[in-house]
Structure 1
Amino acid sequence: MAFHDVRYPTNLSLGSSGGPERRTEIVTLVNGFEERNSPWSDSRRRYDAGAGMRSLDDLDTLITFFEARRGQLHAFRWKDWADYKTCRPSLVVSATDQVIGTGDGTRVTFQLSKTYASGSGSWTRVITKPVAGTVKIAVNGSERVPGADFSVDATTGVVTLQLPPAVGATVTAGCEFDVPVRFDTDRIAVTIATFHAGEIPQVPVIEVRI
């Protein structure tokens, strides 16, 4: 399966539904207690691409995009409007949103990421599809200049600094990002009559590991 570095139309994903999914295995013991375990270290996101369509032109856009991806064959970028920034949705991305590493005097590459923390629990999400032109980097709170001080691989989310941060220096980052996904179906079924009546097709989309 190839990855097409193209984003699903954002005017359609804006009205779509979906979010993170985890897999938990639960065994109920004879005494009523439970044992819980997860074979997944990371969550996986699912969406419905059909939910954002409002007109026949939207339907045509979906079908065109679907055919160009050959159904499930090729993955693509998806904007999750509920979670597409390294900061809260109401805030503006800044270079100090997330800690992505600590300098050791020689290391120059750092992976973009976002940490979700609540109480004593946390999970760090690797960001592999940052939006070009949105990445901001700082070292010990001092913002760096893109191009001159650092570069970003928009296909992997790896940041390369021109100079290695000093030992113990905190490297932080902020950006907007997309989710790598594919269609989770090889078939789109819709009739014009039902579409005009308000019935829209279900077009499942699922996150892929890159």
Structure 2
Amino acid sequence: MAFHEIRFPANLSFGAAGGPERRTEIVTLANGFEERNTPWEHSLRRYDAGLGLRGLEDLEAVIAFFEARRGQLHGFRWKDWADWRSVGSSRALTHFDQRLGVGDGVITQFQLQKTYVSGTESYVRPVLKPVAGTVLAAVGGDPKVEGAEFTVDSGTGVVTFAVAPDIGAEISAGFEFDVPVRFDTDRIHVSMASFQAGEIPAIPVIEVRL
């Protein structure tokens, strides 16, 4: 499967439904207690693109996008309006939103990531599809200039510094990002009469591992 570095129309994903999914294996023991485990380190997101359609022009745009991706064959970018920034939607991006690591004087590349915290627990999610031109990075509290002091691979989310950060220097970043997905169907079924009357086709989309 190839991945096309193109975003599903953001105005159409705005009304879509979906979010993260986990897989938990649960075994109930003879004494009634449970053992729970998960084979997934990271969650997998699912969406329904059909819920964002508001008219025939939207439908035409989605069909064109679907055909260009050859159905399920090629992946693409998806803007998850519920989770698309390194900070909450009410705050401005800063160079210090997310901690990427600590310098050792040798390593120059750091993976973008977002940490979700609740109480004493946290989950670190790798960010593989940052939006070009939105990444802000800092080393040891000192903001750096993209293009001169660091570069970003928008296809992998890897930040590369021109000079290796000093030992103990904290690397941080702020950014916008997309989710790598594909269509989860090879068929879009639409009845024009029912669509005009308000019936919306189901167009499932699923996150892909890269």
TM-score tier after normalising by the smaller chain length: over 0.9
Residue 182 of structure 1 aligns with which residue? 182
Q: CA deviation at 1:169?
A: 0.3
Q: CA deviation at 1:33?
A: 1.0
Spell out the pairing of 1:10-159 with structure 2 (5 A cutoff). Answer: 10-159=10-159
In structure 2, list runs of 5 or more residues that go unmatched: none
Spell out the pairing of 1:152-167 with structure 2 (5 A cutoff). Answer: 152-167=152-167
Counterpart amino acid of residue 172 in structure 1: S
CA distance in 2, matches of 1:31, 1:153: 52
Q: Deviations over 1:13-58 (max 9, x none)?
A: 0000000000001111122211101010100000001000000000
Q: CA deviation at 1:93?
A: 1.2
Q: Cα RMSD (Å) of the superposition?
A: 0.6
Counterpart amino acid of residue 19 in structure 1: G
CA distance in 2, matches of 1:203, 1:131: 24
Identity %: 63
TM-score by length of 2: 0.99
CA distance in 2, matches of 1:86, 1:180: 16
CA distance in 2, matches of 1:99, 1:84: 17
Q: Deviations over 1:101-136 (max 9, x none)?
A: 100011111100001111121111111100000000
Q: CA deviation at 1:202?
A: 0.4
- Say how many residue pairs are matched: 210
SS at match of 1:178: strand
Counterpart amino acid of residue 199 in structure 2: E
Q: CA deviation at 1:174?
A: 0.8
Residue 2 of structure 1 aligns with which residue? 2
CA distance in 2, matches of 1:36, 1:92: 39
Q: CA deviation at 1:74?
A: 0.1
TM-score by length of 1: 0.99
In structure 1, list runs of 5 or more residues that go unmatched: none
